Each structure stands twice: as C-alpha cells, then as structure tokens.
C-alpha cells in the first residue's frame, strides 16, 4: 500500500512513471538489458534522452532560442556554476534574497565576483515571509545577471510573476516549482532545478538556458563546468546520469498524458486553494505566516499553537498514512509539499484530517 | 532474455542487484514508497547510504584514515575538482600520462595551477600501448599530488602496481578498475571512480580519500566543490543521488554475498586469462596491441586483420547475443570490457565465438 507522500524533496513521483520503470527494469524495450546498462552513446538510450528534451520543449512551449541541459550536482552546484560561468572578479551580479536557498546561492557567487544584494525581505528574526514587490528592487543595470529563487521551499513563499529586470539576464533557481504551470521561459537567461521535486529522482539537474547567454560564458574555466560545452554536446559531453534522465522522461510523459501543464496547473491551484482555504477557515488554530500575495502553491507552511501540537499533528497524520509533513528545521512547524505528483484527493484527505485535528485537539 | 553485455560503461550490472531494485521499486521495505521518493534525511534512506559506505569499507578493508564520499559529475568533474581543491597558480602537480583520460585530466588541471607531465607513454602515432616503468618517472618532490589513471579504458592498459611516489599524495582515476580486486587504498591520497563500470549506474561518483589530505584542501573555493565539506557532512551536504547510491549498495551487497573481492579477483583473473590466452593462441588473426606487462584485466582490446572484419565480428557477436564489443572510436578495433558483473561463463562463450570466427572468416 502506497502512503500519501508530502515530502519536500526527494518527493513522491507519479505512480505510472514508477510502474513503467519497474516493468522494464531488467529488459528495456526487449533489448535484453536494463536502461541503466545501455551505453549513453547507443541509440536506445539516446532515444530516451532526446525524448525527454522533446517532451520538456513541447510541454513548456520552449522557443528555439533556448536549450534544455541535463547536469548533475543538484541546485547547490548551480549556485557555484552560474557565477563561475558569468562572473569575474571585476563584474557584479544582483541577488534577490528571499530565503535560505538565496543566501546559499549568494555565498557561492562571492568566490567568483561581486554579488550584490539588490533586495532582501529578511526580517529582524532572520526569517522570510514574503517575496519583494517590483518597487523594492534596487537593480544595477550593469549586472551580469539577476538571480532569484522562484519558490522558497523552506519558507513557503513564491514569486507569482517574475520581476522586470530590464535587459539584464534573469537567472532563476526553480528547484521547487519548475513545471508547476506553463510559463514563458524565454524571459529567462537560465533556469535550473534539481529534479527531485516535480521532475524525477535526485541525481539530475535540469537547466533551461538562452543559447546566446551561455555561449557568452567564460572560456577560461574547466570544460566540464562550461554550460556551452554541455550545450554543444547535447548533455553528452561525459556520461550523463542515464537512469535519472530516463525517470524524468517517464514523469514528463505522464504529464503529457494527463493533459500537459494546463491540467497540472489546474490541479496545483485546486490543491493550494483547498489548503489555504482550510488555513484561513481554521486560523484560530493554524497560523500561516506567509503574506497572502507571496503564498507558495508548492509548499504550504503553517504552525499549530505549540511545538508539541506540531509534533502530534505529524505523528497522527503518519498514523493515517500521510508522511513528510514536518517543517524544515530552520522554520519549524508544518510544511505540506504539494508537488505535481500529489493528487487533489491526497490534499482533500489531509484537509479532512486537519479539520478533525482541530476538533479533537484544538 | 538478457544479453551478454560487454559494454565499456555504463555497463552490465549483477542481475541480483537489479532484481532487488525491481522487486521493491514501488514499495521500499514496506514503507509505502519507492527508495527514490524517500527524503535523503530520513532514516530509511540514511540506512542505505550508511550501508553502502560500510560495505565498501568492509570489502576494501579501508583504514579509518580514509573516508568514502558519494559525489556527482562523473570522473570528468573530478578532473577539475581535484586541482580546484589542491592546486593554486603557484603550485604544481605531476601527471602520469597513459591515455585519453589522463590527457583530459591534465587539461582541466591547467585552469587551476601548474600541471607537469612527469612521464608519458604516448607514441608517435598519438596512441598508448603501455603504462610506464618506475624508472621512467621524473617526479617533482614538491608536487601537490601525483595523478594517474589506473586503468585506461580506451587503450586497455593497466597499472598492476601503483608507482612509488614517495611522500607526495597519489591521486588515481580508478573509474574502470575500482574494486576489481582488493587493494591497499591507504597508499592513495584520493581515488575516484564513476560508478558506471564496476559499481552501479551512471550518476554517482565514488571517492575514497585520506581525511588529512582533503582537510588540507583549499577553503577559498565554493563549498559545494570542497571535498572537506562533503566529508564533514557524510556526503549529505546537499541532496545526493539517492537512487544511484541505493543501486551501488545493491551491487556491493552482491559482491559480499559471492565471497568479497577475493572471489571477484579470482573471476576477473580467469576471464582475463581466457581472453588473452585466446588472443595469444590465435595471434595470426587477432592482434593485441598492448604490451604484455600492461595488459588490462578489465578492458581487452584487439584488432582483426581489417576494419571490415572488425565490423563483421561485432555484428556476428550481436547475432549471438553478445553486445558492446566495438572499440572506442579513438582506438578502433574490438574492446571486450569484462567488469565484475561479466561472468566467466560469458567470457567462455565469447572465446568459443572468437575461435569459430577465425575458422569461418580467418
Ligand atoms: C529552492 C531550492 N534550491 C536549492 C536546493 C538545493 O538543492 P540540492 O539539494 O539539489 O542541491 C533546494 C533543496 O531543497 C531548494 O528547494
Ligand atoms: C578511466 C576513465 N576516466 C574518466 C572517464 C570519464 O567518466 P565520466 O563519463 O563519468 O565523466 C571514463 C569514462 O569512460 C574512464 O573510463
Ligand atoms: Mg532537499
Ligand atoms: Mg527557502
Ligand atoms: Mg563512458
Ligand atoms: Mg584511456
């Protein structure tokens, strides 16, 4: 029996994508071997690789100005790889600070060049409960790029429209909301996301980048770190994480089969409405710290009246087959991660549980 | 029906390791979710992670001076990460040049500091057919480290004893022969290997390093690239490739179950004797270019009298259920990769085929 998985990442994946992997794990398409035993240069694997790229292109409506890459090292490696490619000791990038992951990205950038805080919504208690408004940004028109975290996994805040940054390339860490809906990726110089939320297992990092932007990246850095090298080699410069990419392909094929990103978005909005609706209705018991306009569709965070009740909530939910609800240690409380594989029905079950919990423990 | 897989990497994996993965792919140990859906900070996954490390420690008899790390980016990223950690523009490392992969490692090192060629066995035709003798090495006693490729996957040469490099830390790319037998890893400052030959799927890189050596690595580089950071966090600094590590665990558990590295070595020696025996016996037809003392136990390369016969050999073998025999484009000819998951019986089947091929086409 499968549990209801609200893990923040690695997270639950759509059952059909996993079943497909299981069914052909020992014999991929009658080839007599597992997909992970195939050469990354053979036609069987290359078809999977290219299909994953084609599906992503189709689902997002990606224009031909942009390219999909499969890298590794997680979003954390991108924190360093972006400035390695696009900063020098004499140039500067603008960072929009909205949470723990923005802070880590900024820290890594400072090894390569000047990284400016163009805005921060940090509060005196060091926490974050919103993303900035456009009029708060103090942008440097000379910046090499502007970096933001589109969804703050820990604090449960999200940019609902990307800011206007003029002609400076916009770089976004979309680890926890990539593909939550259809969006205009042509507005971004580079987008990156660890797969382990909406897209697949951990072990592969998706990058979608403007071809011109990455072609202008530094050439005096090791080849393996250059986006341009991976782009020229269709992410086959060295051995890619073939099994992880295969699973991403399965997840993307599932997304297409259920109706594409329009359907995925509709479900995600329903899930968020159910949860925030319950939090607003039961606000005498549950406290949702995030400002309304910054509420994340992917990670819904709240607190019960005491840490003991937080713990009881997590324990009781587990009893009822719902896992992954404990908030991040930085933020405490409860976090409900409702990535694409979480169903509306799963969220209804949780909301019913939340209502019952207030009645019995409130 | 599973084929006989002589792929050079990604390569065949032991069937029990794959079956175990398939059987629990949707429900890991009754947890109601796949291992890839578990949090990397939860106790279910951490048990797998720690078991993989414990198995590797036990199988290799690793002393407590050394630590196992799980990184990503393949061996190619290690080509850059090693000099990033241990070189500065003012310091130098010695490179022992024995093939294509040594050349790539040298090229990446030069972005960070001085990288000296302490020996090369390159021939006028740019190919390599042997590793150097100890008396050929021109070592710099001030070097930050000495780098070698223990097994040259493309050219089919192998160091059968690591060179004596005095007190300078020895760094080895063991991508294609790590765990082919028990060896004294305490002699190495750092060893790295992409998993996709002897150890698991692509997508995870094993590193075994001297704790003191990595603690002395540079601190003015991004955290994500510091071996010391991964060491302090038991390879959980950021989200590791959990599914790939789980599969490595399965492969290591299989190695232990069949009798450990002593048994694995015995099989590998038998396989190599069968193949090189056939090549020597049939040397009027098959030409094995590698000098006898440098012959690799893992990648056996040879040529037929013409490229047309090479191609016919590959095609006929495929007809008979044996795949992955085409030589690397750099070297041409045939390459038989006999990693740990290839059985003695598989090699006997190939040798019978080789004998038959000479009779019918020779
Ligand atoms: C928004 C965001 N960025 C970065 C990271 C770090 O990702 P990784 O562990 O893949 O390096 C996370 C992890 O949860 C995240 O949510
Ligand atoms: C000895 C050796 N080093 C390095 C590499 C490159 O490994 P990766 O593709 O994992 O970067 C290979 C790949 O076959 C190899 O055989
Ligand atoms: Mg995480
Ligand atoms: Mg955050
Ligand atoms: Mg390879
Ligand atoms: Mg080689």
Strand-pair partners of B313: none
B243 near B52, Cβ under 8 Å?
Answer: no
A105 near A232, Cβ under 8 Å?
Answer: no
| Residue of B243, B337, B341 to mutate when probing chain A, most A C-beta within 10 A | B243
**Inter-chain touch B224–A324, beta carbons under 8 Å:** no
pLDDT of residue A70: 98
Nearest to B346 by CA among B271, B234, B253, B255: B271
Report how far ligand 1's centroid is from the alpha carbon of A187 (Å): 22
Total number of residues shown for chain B: 362
Residues 6+ apart with CB under 8 A from B198: B11, B176, B177, B178, B179, B180, B251, B298, B339, B340, B341
pLDDT of residue A362: 82
pLDDT in tens, A305-321: 999 999 999 999 999 99
B76/A contact by beta carbon, under 8 A: yes
Side-chain half-sphere CA neighbours of B352 within 13 A: 8
Report how far ligand 5's centroid is from the alpha carbon of B330 (Å): 13
pLDDT in tens, B60-102: 999 999 999 999 999 999 999 999 999 999 999 999 999 999 9
Average pLDDT over residues B161-171: 97
B215/A contact by beta carbon, under 8 A: no
Strands (DSSP E) along chain A, which ranges? 4-5, 66-71, 92-97, 114-120, 146-149, 151-152, 157-158, 170-173, 190-194, 205-210, 299-302, 322-323, 334-337
d(CA B7, CA B342): 10
Could you give the residue range(s) of every CATH 3.40.640.10 domain in chain A? Answer: 15-257
Residues 6+ apart with CB under 8 A from B117: B95, B97, B106
Does the annotation mark B181 as catalytic?
no
**Inter-chain touch A108–B222, beta carbons under 8 Å:** yes
Binding-site residues, ligand 2, Cβ < 6 A: A 238-239; B 9, 74-76, 101, 149, 153, 173, 175-176, 194
pLDDT of residue B362: 82
Residues A350, A173, A293, A136, Cα dihedral to 10°: 160
Mean of all residue pLDDT scores within chain B: 98
**Inter-chain touch A241–B12, beta carbons under 8 Å:** no
Residue in the block written with tokens 């790029």: A145
Could you give the residue range(s) of every CATH 3.90.1150.10 domain in chain B? Answer: 259-361
Binding-site residues, ligand 1, Cβ < 6 A: A 9, 74-76, 101, 149, 153, 173, 175-176, 194; B 238-239
A329/B contact by beta carbon, under 8 A: no
Percent of chain B predicted with pLDDT > 70? 100
Examine residue B176 and say whether the peptide bond preceding it is cis (omega within 30 degrees of 0): no
Exposed/middle/buried for A329, CB within 10 Å: 0-12, 13-18, 19+?
exposed
What spatial distance separates the first Cα and last Cα of chain B, rounded to whole Å? Answer: 31
Q: Which atom of ligand 2 is nearest to the CA of B153?
A: 16
d(CA A14, CA A254): 7
d(CA B176, CA B198): 7
What is the CATH T-level fold of the domain B259-361, as seen in this structure? 3.90.1150
Q: Which atom of ligand 1 is nearest to the CA of A151?
A: 1
Total number of residues shown for chain A: 362
Does the annotation mark A135 as catalytic?
no
Per-residue pLDDT at A159 exceeds 90: yes
A347 near A274, Cβ under 8 Å?
Answer: yes
Distance between A23 CA and the closest CA of chain B, angstroms: 8
Percent of chain B predicted with pLDDT > 90? 99
A203/B contact by beta carbon, under 8 A: yes
Q: Kindly indicate the confidence band of residue A1, based on its pLDDT and cuts at 50, 70 and 90.
A: confident
Measured by CA distance, the residue closest to atom 10 of ligand 2 is B74
d(CA A202, CA A244): 7
Mean of all residue pLDDT scores within chain A: 98
pLDDT of residue B239: 98
pLDDT in tens, A174-184: 999 999 999 99
Average pLDDT over residues A232-259: 98
> Which residues 247-286 of A are in CB contact (within 8 Å) with B?
247
Q: What is the separation of C-alpha B13 from the centre of its chain, rounded to a whole number of angstroms? A: 14
Q: Is A5 in a helix, a strand, or coil?
A: strand
A178 near A311, Cβ under 8 Å?
Answer: no
Strand-pair partners of A300: A336
Per-residue pLDDT at B142 exceeds 90: yes
Nearest chain B residue (CA) to A74: B239
Examine residue A344 and say whether the peptide bond preceding it is cis (omega within 30 degrees of 0): no
d(CA B322, CA B5): 6
**Inter-chain touch A11–B37, beta carbons under 8 Å:** yes
Tell me which of B173, B177, B210, B310 is the catalytic residue: B173
Residues B49, B53, B54, B55, Cα dihedral to 10°: 100
Nearest chain B residue (CA) to A1: B32
Q: Which two tokens stand for residue B57?
A: 């420690």
**Inter-chain touch A202–B240, beta carbons under 8 Å:** yes
pLDDT in tens, B37-63: 999 999 999 999 999 999 999 999 999
What spatial distance separates the first Cα and last Cα of chain A, rounded to whole Å? Answer: 31
A248 near A200, Cβ under 8 Å?
Answer: yes
Report how far ligand 6's centroid is from the alpha carbon of B127 (Å): 9
Per-residue pLDDT at A253 exceeds 90: yes
d(CA B323, CA A336): 47
d(CA B54, CA B33): 24
For residue B306, how many other CB atoms are within 10 A of its CB?
Answer: 9
Does the annotation mark B173 as catalytic?
yes
**Inter-chain touch A72–B241, beta carbons under 8 Å:** yes
**Inter-chain touch B221–A2, beta carbons under 8 Å:** no
Q: Which two tokens stand for residue A66?
A: 């942009």
Q: What angle do CA A15, A16, A17 make, to 5 degrees?
A: 90
Per-residue pLDDT at A277 exceeds 90: yes
Average pLDDT over residues A130-142: 98
d(CA A86, CA A74): 19
pLDDT in tens, B278-316: 999 999 999 999 999 999 999 999 999 999 999 999 999
pLDDT of residue B1: 78
What is the CATH T-level fold of the domain A15-257, as seen in this structure? 3.40.640
Q: What is the DSSP letter of A273?
A: H
Measured by CA distance, the residue closest to atom 5 of ligand 2 is B75
Residues of B in contact with A203 (CB under 8 A): 72, 203-204, 240-244
Q: Kindly indicate the confidence band of residue A93, based on its pLDDT and cuts at 50, 70 and 90.
A: very high
Nearest to A37 by CA among B274, B251, B303: B251
For residue B31, how many other CB atoms are within 10 A of its CB?
Answer: 18
Phi, psi of B261 (to 5 degrees): -70, -25
pLDDT in tens, B174-195: 999 999 999 999 999 999 999 9
Tell me which of A94, A114, A159, A173 is the catalytic residue: A173
d(CA B242, CA B352): 40
């Amino acid at each position: 029996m499968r549990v209801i998985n609200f893990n923040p990442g690695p997270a639950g994946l759509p059952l059909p994508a996993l079943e497909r992997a299981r069914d052909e794990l020992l014999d991929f398409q009658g080839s007599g071997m597992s997909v992970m035993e195939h050469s990354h240069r053979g036609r069987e694997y290359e078809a999977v690789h290219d299909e994953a790229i084609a599906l992503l292109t189709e689902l997002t409506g990606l224009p031909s100005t942009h390219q999909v890459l499969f890298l590794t090292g997680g979003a954390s490696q991108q924190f360093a790889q972006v400035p390695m490619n696009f900063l020098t000791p004499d140039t500067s990038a603008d960072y929009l600070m909205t949470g723990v992951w923005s802070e880590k990205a900024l820290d890594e950038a400072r090894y390569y060049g000047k990284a400016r805080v163009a805005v921060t919504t940090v509060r005196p208690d060091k926490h974050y409960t919103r993303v900035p408004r456009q009029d708060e940004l103090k942008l440097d028109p000379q910046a090499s790029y502007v970096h933001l975290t589109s969804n703050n996994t820990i604090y449960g805040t999200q940019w609902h429209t990307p800011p206007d940054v003029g002609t400076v390339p916009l770089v976004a860490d979309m680890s926890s909301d990539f593909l939550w809906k259809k969006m205009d990726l042509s507005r971004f110089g580079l987008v990156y996301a660890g797969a382990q939320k909406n897209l697949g297992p951990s072990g592969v990092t998706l990058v979608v980048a403007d071809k011109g932007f990455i072609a202008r990246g530094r050439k005096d850095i090791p080849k393996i770190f250059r986006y341009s090298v991976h782009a020229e080699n269709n992410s086959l410069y060295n051995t890619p994480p073939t099994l992880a990419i295969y699973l991403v392909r399965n997840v993307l094929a599932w997304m297409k089969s259920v109706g594409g990103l329009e359907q995925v978005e509709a479900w995600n909005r329903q899930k968020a409405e159910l949860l925030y609706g319950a939090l607003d209705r039961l606000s005498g018991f549950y406290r949702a710290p995030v400002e309304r306009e910054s509420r994340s569709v992917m990670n819904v965070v709240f607190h019960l009246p005491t840490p003991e009740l937080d713990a009881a909530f997590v324990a009781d939910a587990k009893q009822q087959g719902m896992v992954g609800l404990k908030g991040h240690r930085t933020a405490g409380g409860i976090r409900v991660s409702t990535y694409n594989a979480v169903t509306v029905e799963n969220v209804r079950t949780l909301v019913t549980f939340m209502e019952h919990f207030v009645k019995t423990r409130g």
